[in-house]
Structure 1
């Protein structure tokens, strides 16, 4: 159920995307911001984030300094479950349950109880950002961390 949602992209957003694509030669599939954490998330093709982190780390650090932002790279995967695991790569995910709801997928992510707070984030920031990213590609009715 691929959904590529249309979003308004500002001139500033285009600048951030252009810097990234120029420095790394990688296409940005989608771009997300979390102003509260001064964070920019770039969603890339499979294999691209790993390549950049392994072989272009200094350039990535340069981008962070240039933009004065924290930068997170995520790899898109057409398999929804794998994409969810990519989004929660810093969390020990035990299981992902995906059900069809009336208005899209109902996703439940089961995590290590010790990491549940980190997965949810302060004021549910991590959940909101994860749902925004997932919703750019799929119809997501709900996203719950258990």
Structure 2
């Protein structure tokens, strides 16, 4: 796993997240293109982090004026991809290396393909950002 250096802005968001939720974030990715922050946390803390009826997420979104997405981090590629694609049901995950590029092909249930991709490809983009950061995967394809 590559060494991840957090910016002061990412640290600020992580601290604010912890103040609001009581949950420590493992990582924070700022996605300016989609006006959101993505927080990676221990999957067991997901319910506490989100809060009753999404209260904690809404509170944080209002404070920072960005969308907030929370992902349960896993060391294992398969489990991480399943968390990234949730609630879409992942059938298979295949990593293909050609030249120096790694691509992960994620097969989901046909009725879940739209959910997996997300509006304007937001979910695929989120998966790509996280998988690049942690596992040096260059592209993500949902099939």
Q: 1:62 aligns with which of 54, 59, 63?
A: 59
Kindly indicate whether the alpha-carbon contact (under 8 Å) linking 2:90 and 2:107 is maintained by their aligned counterparts in 1.
yes
Alignment of 1:30-109 (within 5 A): 30-53=27-50, 57-99=54-96, 103=100, 105-109=102-106
Q: Secondary structure at the match of 1:90?
A: coil
Kindly indicate whether the alpha-carbon contact (under 8 Å) linking 2:128 and 2:138 is maintained by their aligned counterparts in 1.
no
Q: Secondary structure at the match of 1:26?
A: coil
Shift of 1:29: 1.5
Shift of 1:74: 0.5
Deviation per CA, 1:40-82, whole angstroms, max 9, x where unpaired? 1100123122332355843332222212222111111111100
2:36 and 2:133 map into 1 onto residues whose CA distance is 17
Structure 1 spans left out of the alignment, 5+ residues: none
Residue 25 in structure 1 maps to residue 22 in structure 2: yes
TM-score by length of 2: 0.79
Residue 3 in structure 1 maps to residue 9 in structure 2: no
1:141 and 1:82 map into 2 onto residues whose CA distance is 18
Deviation per CA, 1:79-115, whole angstroms, max 9, x where unpaired? 1100000000132322222355654653110023343
Please state which structure has a larger fraction of its residues in helix. 2
Shift of 1:39: 1.7
Structure 2 spans left out of the alignment, 5+ residues: none
Structure 1: 4+ residue segments shifted above 6 A: none
What count of residue pairs does the alignment treat as equivalent?
143
